[in-house]
Homo-oligomer: A and B are copies of this chain.
Amino acid sequence: MSELEQPAVFDARLSAEDLRDAWRLLDTGERAEGFRLLDPTEGEEFFIELSTIDQVALLSSLSPAEQRFWLRALAPDDTADFLQETTPEQRAEMLAMLDEASRREVRTLLAYAEDDAGGLMSTRYARVRPEMTVDEAVLYLRKQANARLETIYYGYVLDQEQRLLGVVSLRELFQAKGNMLVKDVMHCDLVQVPEEMDQEAVGRLFAQHDLVALPVIDASGRMKGIVTVDDIVDVVQEEATEDIQKIGGSEALGAPYLEVGVLEMVKKRAGWLTVLFIGEMFASVVVASYQSQIEHAAVLATLMPLIISSGGNSGSQASTLVIRAMALGEARLADWMRVLRREILAGALLGLILGLVGLARIVLWHQVGVLRGEPVYGEHYMILAVAIGISVVGVVLWGTITGAMLPMLLRRLGYDPASASAPFVATLVDVTGLLIYFAVATALLTGTFLHA
């Protein structure tokens, strides 16, 4: 009856794959229980592959001895990422669990901002000397296979002052004659990463150059470490996630959607919604100032949703395109005039298309009404149709320009362009859109729909 006494979620034997599949559905205790059932090799691989957030949560529910064991399984750059996510007390405690050499390395890495190239890099790269022969270099790299290096497939050629002279791949060494010198086969035209470069920019470098590893260099040209492409896949995905969540008008969640507590999620979402809600009150003020016109011609109110949404939609579209173009480095701040010219043209064309649809809609509605014996817009429907057409052109053009320029303005002021979220642009455009609409309507409809 021991099975009844110990209601285990898992069988005594569990594969890493099974655990990986079930992971999302388990609570912290069940995760630790499942993890302990893995055989040690599988366990190590499983642990290393977990996201940093999951690693921290898992380790927190294990015993100190287990913590020590698993912490030592991580490479220093991963340990540093890991410790970024812990509380200061946990951090001190866990640093104490490392051996002296690792602790020193991890401390160095912790000094970098998490999002800098320095925070991404590994300090465990293979160094070769320029005067080595190719055969010596191959032998040296081969001997490093057991060392805890990030990769043995690239040898970085440094001078006495640790300045990077060049790089040579194991494959190139294989191709070269054994008695040639490293300095004669190495590449010198290197793509280098400054240590304070933002990880988003590092991701762009990798996407551009299709390389497997890039050297990180400090201001005086000294080599500090390497960033490898496998870490970059995560970075590119993370940065895109942050941008997408901001574009949607929320703060970046910073953790998988289903794992963020509902209250925490509400906190990250309520801020912007409230700001925008208050901002939208200005749109109410605009409408209120035309209240007497609306009392005389309530038809003006019925067409308000068309105006509000066409401005908001065209603005969201333009801002999203420009935010992404900036994130990819396709459009830079210096390109703002080119972007503006393109968006004025695009906005005018889009405005014309929608304006014609809007005009046609009023005319069509009126004709249908006449046929059914109940004309909706009265004898002056054509003026109303023209007023809507003109307003839509203006609103869409304005929405497009605002949407395209706002991300650039934010970048110029030192903010994240992705903060020019679809909802933010939509709200911003509503106020001016309604002003344009009521101004055009008042100008054209006075004497027909409105009293002089």
A interface residue numbers (CB < 8 A to B) = 16, 24, 42, 48-49, 142, 145-146, 152-153, 170-172, 174-175, 189, 203, 206-212, 229-234, 236-237, 240-241, 243-245, 247-250, 253, 256-259, 262-263, 265-266, 269-270, 272-274, 276-278, 280-281, 283-284, 287-288, 291-292, 294-295, 298-299, 301-306, 308-310, 312-314, 316-317, 319-325, 328, 330-331, 335, 338-339, 342, 345-346, 349-350, 353-354, 357-358, 361, 376, 396, 421-423, 426-427, 430, 434
CB-based contact A330/B291 at 8 Å: no
CB-CB under 8 A from A298, the residues of chain B are: 291-292, 294-295, 298, 301
Inter-chain CA distance A427–B427, complex, in Å, is 14
8 contacts between A and B (CB under 8 A): A152-B174, A210-B233, A211-B230, A229-B230, A233-B236, A245-B324, A256-B328, A277-B354
Residue from the list B283, B305, B430 in contact with A430, Cβ < 8 A: B305
Residue from the set A233, A262, A299 with the largest chain B CB neighbour count within 10 Å: A233
Looking at the complex, which one of B49, B280, B308, B323 makes contact with A310 (CB distance below 8 Å)? B280
Q: How far apart are the CA atoms of A358 and B281 in the complex, in Å?
A: 9
Tell me if A357 and B274 are in contact (CB < 8 A).
yes
Residue of B nearest to A354 (CB): B277
Q: Are the CB atoms of B237 and A229 closer together than 8 Å? A: no
Task: Point out the residues of chain B lying under 8 angstroms from A231, CB to CB.
Answer: 210
B287 near A317 (CB under 8 angstroms)? no
Q: Which of B210, B323, B376, B434 contacts A48 (CB 8 A)?
A: B210
Q: Is the CB of B248 within 8 A of A248?
A: no
- With beta carbons under 8 angstroms apart, the residue of B269, B304, B317, B376 that contacts A317 is B269
Query: What's the Cα separation between A430 and B21 when bound, in Å?
Result: 39
Inter-chain CA distance A155–B274, complex, in Å, is 57
B residues in contact with A322, CB < 8 Å: 257
Complex contact A203–B233 (CB within 8 A): yes
A399 to chain B, nearest CB (A): 10
CB contact between A287 and one of B24, B274, B304, B310 (< 8 Å): that residue? B304
Q: Are B233 and A423 in contact (CB under 8 A)?
A: no
Residue of B nearest to A255 (CB): B330
- Chain A binding surface, main DSSP class: helix
Compute how far the CA of A266 lies from the CA of B320 in the bound complex, rounded to whole angstroms. Answer: 15
Contact between A353 and B316, CB atoms less than 8 A apart: no
B325 touches A269 (CB 8 A): no
A152-B174, A248-B317, A287-B304 known; 16 other A-B pairs, CB under 8 Å?
A229-B233, A237-B240, A248-B321, A257-B324, A263-B349, A269-B317, A277-B310, A283-B305, A284-B305, A288-B376, A294-B294, A305-B308, A309-B312, A312-B312, A312-B423, A316-B421
A349 to B268, CA, bound (A): 12
Contact, CB under 8 Å: A304 / B301? yes
Q: Tell me if B330 and A270 are in contact (CB < 8 A).
A: no
Q: Is the Cβ of B237 less than 8 Å from the Cβ of A210? A: no
Within the assembled complex, what's the spacing in Å between the Cα atoms of A243 and B354? 24
Residue pair A309, B206 in contact (C-beta under 8 Å) = no
CA distance A247 to B230 in the complex (A): 27
A368 to B269 CA separation, bound complex (whole angstroms): 30
Q: B273 touching A310 by the CB < 8 A rule?
A: yes
A141 (CB) vs chain B CBs: closest residue: B174
Q: Is the CB of B317 within 8 A of A258?
A: no
**Chain B residues with Cβ under 8 A from A42's Cβ?**
189
Cβ-defined partner of A248 (8 Å) among B234, B247, B295, B354: B247
User: Are B306 and A305 interface neighbours, CB within 8 A?
Assistant: no
Contact B208–A230 (Cβ < 8 Å): no
User: Known contacts A229-B229, A256-B328; is A350 also within 8 Å of B269 by CB?
Assistant: yes
Give the residue of B244, B274, B278 whose beta carbon is less than 8 angstroms from that of A240: B244
Chain B residues lying within 8 Å of A434, measured Cβ to Cβ, are 305
Other-chain contact of A236, B236, B281, B324 (Cβ < 8 Å): B236
Output the least CB separation between A36 and chain B (Å): 19
Q: Which residues of B contact A209 (CB under 8 A)?
A: 49
A207 and B152 within 8 A (CB): no
- Are the CB atoms of A262 and B345 closer together than 8 Å? yes
Contact assessment for A294 and B301 in the assembled complex, using a CB-CB cutoff below 8 Å: yes
Would you call A320 and B245 a contact (CB within 8 A)?
Answer: yes
- Contact B305 A244, beta carbon cutoff 8 Å: no
Question: Contacts of A358 on B, CB cut-off 8 Å?
Answer: 277
